[in-house]
Chain A
Amino acid sequence: MKIVIVGNGIAGNEVAFSLRLAQKDWEITILSAEQFPEYDPCSLPYFIGGDVPRDTVFRKDFKDYRMHRIHLELGQRVTAIDPEARVVATDQGREYGYDRLVLAHGGSLFIPPIEGIDRQGVHSCKQLDAADQLSQYRGSAAVVIGSGAIGIEAGEALKKRGYAVTIIELLDWVLPALFDPETSRRLETHLNHYGLRVLTAEKVLRIEGGESVSAVVTDKRRIPCDTVVIATGVVPGKALAETAGIKVGRGIRVNTHMETSVAGIYACGDCVETVDACTGEDAMFQLKHNALEQAQVVARNVLGEPVAYAGAYAFARANFFDTRAVTFGKTTRATQCELGQLDIIERAEGEDYLRVIVKEGLVVGGQAIGRLADYIGLFIGAMWRKDSIPAIRENWALIARKGSCYPWTYRKLGELMGLKS
């Protein structure tokens, strides 16, 4: 059996190495557009900021590929798939035949159409070569465009390197996809406290300068700078799938066995659109834990074991300097176009903050900052189990008075919700 995997990211490697564990003689090839062994994009900001040495970002070594007899072809960007002939073609003019094809090429950085974006000094930090460039660059004033998780982490990294940092967000609050405005406002104060300038509801119009960057112009002001970091999100790489006639939505569409609409072609990782494990709605969370789980499902299905994928889940943490925050499930904004009574549980104790979004009595999401985040896992559990929050509220005093330790998770939940016995 000949397996070709497109993409040398976390999902692609998980598929390759899981297949190798089960099948000693299959021919497994990974086609990588980059020049490195597997690395973790989540680690890159910490490497740029100097928290960890460069070698910690790698999850594999070239030796690991040789030891497991996995052919790693570097610098081969796949440009077309011919599902009839079962062949993929790369930009280097090479062709690879396959019996099963796995698409795990992820997404690419969204480059907003801003004038002057190709000037020297404009960086990104999604891929390792871009992160290398940014970490070798010497500047003093940086503007980060976009305040998603990558934007905030890049801002923190540059601040640690001594830059003056300004973060610009188009929407009304920072981390708009992950947090509610109430939580984000608190995080914004923290960012300001650490000396990062945050500008929300501002649109970048152009990047000025000669050969290299000298300023960023927004609709409200002109910010002189010598470094710009683009962190405006990631778009799934569905163009490649379209060359094979695979059905795509926001990302590549897959069935519960992670197979695409074309037989023999599987997909996993940042490029696929799957379902939310809790709600069953179409969802696209480009997060590492989902990529790993999808890859394991792909591997088992390729091996002939018909495993169904339970779905993806949203869980992300945001940390910069001494601030630590977490979010899971849906934000209030994500529930806005749905029917149902919303009930927000909110608690604030100094710097610590907890916010749980309850819809029709069930937990659908939550966010927390600081110490109140430490037991957020109990709310995630309540969301998975579909625990009724009104029932917990009603019975809690009784559970607490009885003194039994067995329903301790509920007792702790009640404590976190601020119930009194």
Chain B
Amino acid sequence: MTCTRNITILVDPEKCTGCRLCEMACSMVHHGILSPDRARIRVLRFEGGGSNVPLVCQACEDAPCIKTCPMNARRRLGNHAVVTEEERCIGCRACVYICPIGAPVVNPESGKTMTCDLCAEEGTQPWCVKACRDYGALKAVDSGKTAARKSRDSAAQAKAAYKPGKKV
């Protein structure tokens, strides 16, 4: 079953412990092996500060990778995810370079890029989100709700600021 519901993976790096279960789940569901370098999500670890940032394709509304790919291999799926068509990709990495967060991952075996397809073939929640259930650093939310949540938060803050005596 193909998932057509528009969801987005909401990332909260503050909650990420750096356990990399998401990477394991991703490589398992897409390639059938437990190998972090086949995962389409990856956890960026910063030395010193000890913080971890899960990086995953955000499927930009006006995705620059679709426009810059010389082989027209970047394609938007019905569930809004943007993926690389493997037969067309020549591994030039234009999509990696133009991406504001460098999200596409190069498959070490084929040299071609791959990005999150939101587990479109699975018809369930993305596996990385399920793997992160205990920590909640990754959440599957309806597209549009991420922005709605943000604006509700800032509206609440602004409202509080106008009430004298109340702490923001």
**Contact digits for B79-107, partner A, Cβ 8 Å, 1 yes 0 no:** 00000000110111110111111100000
When the two chains form the complex, which single residue of B48, B52, B99 contacts A377, counting CB atoms closer than 8 Å? B99
**Between A and B, how many residue pairs show CB distances below 8 Å?**
101
Question: In whole angstroms, what is the CA distance A289 to B70 when docked?
Answer: 10
**Is there contact, CB below 8 Å, between B68 and A421?**
no
Tell whether A163 is near chain B: CB-to-CB under 8 Å: no
Tell whether B162 is near chain A: CB-to-CB under 8 Å: no
Tell whether B44 is near chain A: CB-to-CB under 8 Å: yes
**Is there contact, CB below 8 Å, between A43 and B71?**
yes
**Is there contact, CB below 8 Å, between B51 and A289?**
no
Tell whether A66 is near chain B: CB-to-CB under 8 Å: no
Interface residues on B, range: 20 to 34
Tell whether A405 is near chain B: CB-to-CB under 8 Å: yes
Tell whether A63 is near chain B: CB-to-CB under 8 Å: no
**Is there contact, CB below 8 Å, between A421 and B48?**
yes
With a 10 A CB-CB cut-off, give which of A319, A409, A415 has the most chain B CB atoms.
A319
Q: In the complex, what residue of chain A is closest to B12 when comparing beta carbons?
A: A405
Tell whether A347 is near chain B: CB-to-CB under 8 Å: no
Tell whether A196 is near chain B: CB-to-CB under 8 Å: no
Tell whether B30 is near chain A: CB-to-CB under 8 Å: no
**Is there contact, CB below 8 Å, between A374 and B102?**
yes
**Given A56-B87, A378-B101, does the pair A408, B44 have CB atoms closer than 8 Å?**
yes
Q: Nearest Cβ distance between residue A289 and chain B, in whole angstroms?
A: 4
Question: In whole angstroms, what is the CA distance A375 to B53 when docked?
Answer: 14
Which chain A residues (167-224) contact chain B, with CB distance < 8 Å? none
**Is there contact, CB below 8 Å, between A317 and B99?**
no
**Is there contact, CB below 8 Å, between A403 and B70?**
no
Question: In whole angstroms, what is the CA distance A400 to B70 when docked?
Answer: 37
Question: In whole angstroms, what is the CA distance A56 to B85 when docked?
Answer: 11
User: Cβ of B100: which chain A residues have Cβ within 8 Å of it?
Assistant: 377-378, 380-381
When the two chains form the complex, which single residue of A319, A326, A378, A403 contacts B48, counting CB atoms closer than 8 Å? A403
List 8 other contacts, CB 8 Å, given A315-B68, A315-B97: A288-B70, A289-B98, A315-B98, A317-B92, A319-B91, A374-B96, A400-B46, A405-B16
Q: Which residues of A contact B (CB under 8 A)?
A: 40, 42-43, 46, 51-52, 56, 59, 288-289, 292-293, 315, 317, 319, 324, 326, 328, 373-378, 380-381, 400-406, 408-409, 411-412, 415, 421
Q: Jot down 12 A-B pairs with beta carbons below 8 A, ordered by A.
A: A51-B90, A52-B71, A52-B88, A59-B72, A315-B97, A319-B91, A374-B93, A403-B49, A405-B52, A409-B101, A411-B46, A415-B46
